[in-house]
Amino acid sequence: MTALSAKPSISPTFGICCRQIVDADVPAVAALLARGFPSYSVQFWEQGVQQLGRLQSPPGLPKYGYLLESEGRVVGTLLLIFSQMRAGDEFVTRCNVSSWYVEPAFRVYAPLLTLRAHAAKNVTYLNVSPHPDTHPILKAQGFSCYCDGKFVAVPILHGLFGGSNGVQVFDARVLPTVGFDPFEQEILLQHAKLGCISLWCATSERAYPFVFRPRRIKKVIPGAQLIYCRDTGDFVRFARPLGRALARLGTALVVIDANSPIPGLYGVFRPGNDPKYYRGPQRPRLGDLAYTECAVLGV
């Protein structure tokens, strides 16, 4: 997320410092973000930043992100969510460039945050909720759009009259009795601690991981956002049993990142909705928002 305001009035200010956020800064950072994003409370931001602090950043990378400080006061901040994800047979480092806000009088110093944020090498940077006014800026910074729409699915209607026999869906804290990936198990368990719905979907051969984040569609209708699965084809394959499990939790609709309608799913494709951008060596795949603000902050 990026907070924008009217053209800032810039006053000559000295003693600007750009540094990493540390634990003691959390209350001040939360208060600043609440001013920049008034639809969210200070308590929301404090809890969210604390959640970010519980994650394990790759060695040598920031725990929270960076801030701008003037005469001991926090006047700007940029949250960064670093993680290591598997891509094929190797691990890659990702960074979700998340919530950004700088007080108007200090907006001229905002590039200091961006420069520090993008300094890490061999990192794929994600921006999954850019303000529409920032899209040209992202493109100028070398970002490319990898997702330009979403599909709102009704999974319980998939295979209404058959299919998915013998499939079991259960909580991620239950150890599967069939083959599973320990790395994916860790993803499920960590996201469950963040408030997500983490589930195994098991056949007689292996267990497949799924993570959903509860959210309100159009701010009213209970739903969930698909945060992680091995492949969106897995969601289509197991849509019916997953739909039943989610329905028991009061959720009938699932929002999935998509660039076109998803064959085999009942629902509606909405192009040009919530575009997502990346920059770096690894193009993100659809169906993987693990360790992003969608999961950590629930926005």
pLDDT digit string (tens) for the chain, length 299 residues: 655 443 333 344 457 999 999 999 999 999 999 999 998 999 999 999 999 888 888 888 999 999 999 999 999 999 999 999 988 788 899 999 998 999 999 999 999 998 898 888 889 999 998 888 888 888 988 999 999 999 999 999 986 655 566 899 999 999 999 999 999 999 999 999 999 999 999 999 999 999 999 998 877 888 999 999 999 999 999 999 999 999 999 999 999 999 999 998 999 999 988 899 999 999 999 999 999 999 998 87
Looking at the fold, whether 216 and 175 belong to one and the same domain comes out as yes
Domain count, the chain: 2
CB atoms within 10 A of CB 104: 14
Q: Are 191 and 289 in contact (CB under 8 A)?
A: no
Residue 178 included in any domain: yes
Which CATH number is 22's domain given? Answer: 3.40.630.30
Residue 21 included in any domain: yes
Looking at the fold, whether 218 and 153 belong to one and the same domain comes out as yes
> Distance (Å, rounded) from C-alpha 120 to C-alpha 37?
27
Looking at the fold, whether 111 and 215 belong to one and the same domain comes out as no
Residue 46 included in any domain: yes
Looking at the fold, whether 155 and 270 belong to one and the same domain comes out as yes
Looking at the fold, whether 171 and 264 belong to one and the same domain comes out as yes
Res 164: pLDDT: 61
Residue 155 included in any domain: yes
> Distance (Å, rounded) from C-alpha 124 to C-alpha 284?
8
Q: Among residues 199, 289, 214, which one has the least CA distance to residue 252?
A: 214
Longest pairwise C-alpha distance within the chain:
69
> Distance (Å, rounded) from C-alpha 85 to C-alpha 295?
15
Q: What does the CA dihedral 231, 232, 236, 237 come to, rounded to 10 degrees? A: 0
The values of phi and psi at residue 28, to 5°, are -70, -40
Cβ contacts of 257 within 8 Å, gap of 6 or more: 147, 149, 150, 151, 226, 276, 286, 287, 289
Res 1: pLDDT: 66
Determine the structural domain holding residue 288 and report its residue range.
Answer: 149-275+284-296
Looking at the fold, whether 265 and 175 belong to one and the same domain comes out as yes
Q: Are 18 and 66 in contact (CB under 8 A)?
A: yes
Looking at the fold, whether 98 and 154 belong to one and the same domain comes out as no
Looking at the fold, whether 42 and 99 belong to one and the same domain comes out as yes
